[in-house]
Amino acid sequence: MLDVDPKLVERHGAVSESVARALAEHARACAGSDYALATTGVAGPTGGSPEKPAGTVYVALALAELETIVKKFFFPTDRETFKELVAQSALDLLGRKILTPT
């Protein structure tokens, strides 16, 4: 549905700034919205690598102004807490942008 180029995933991996950016931008375009959030990460406890250990996540916010913000976080915790922290981080990113426009 979000039409992420498979070559992008091949080149950078599913957990990457590039893929998070593409997910958010395509979600915003598909929804026709002013904002869209996307996340991609390794919740663990398995599946990580030395470059992207469990707990690594990218959160992207695509804006109508054709700007996309991507932040990398590291939450080395259990899966449930990881998902809560990722959701909180994504919503915090959106809230800060809405409350403090440039």
Tokens of 44: 């663990």
* CATH class of the 6-99 domain in this structure: alpha beta
Angle at alpha carbon of residue 22, lines to 39 and 87, rounded to 5°: 15
Neighbours of 29 (CB within 10 A): 13
Q: What is the 3-state secondary structure (H, E, C) of the chain?
A: CCCCCHHHHHHHCCCCHHHHHHHHHHHHHHHCCCEEEEEEECCCCCCCCCCCCCCEEEEEEEECCCCEEEEEEECCCCHHHHHHHHHHHHHHHHHHHHHCCC
Question: Looking at the predicted structure, is the pLDDT value of residue 102 above 70?
Answer: no
Query: How confident is the model over 3-29, as pLDDT tens digits?
Result: 899 999 999 999 999 999 999 999 999
Query: How confident is the model over 26-78, as pLDDT tens digits?
Result: 999 999 999 999 999 999 999 999 999 999 999 999 998 889 999 999 999 99
What pLDDT is stored for residue 18 in this prediction? 97
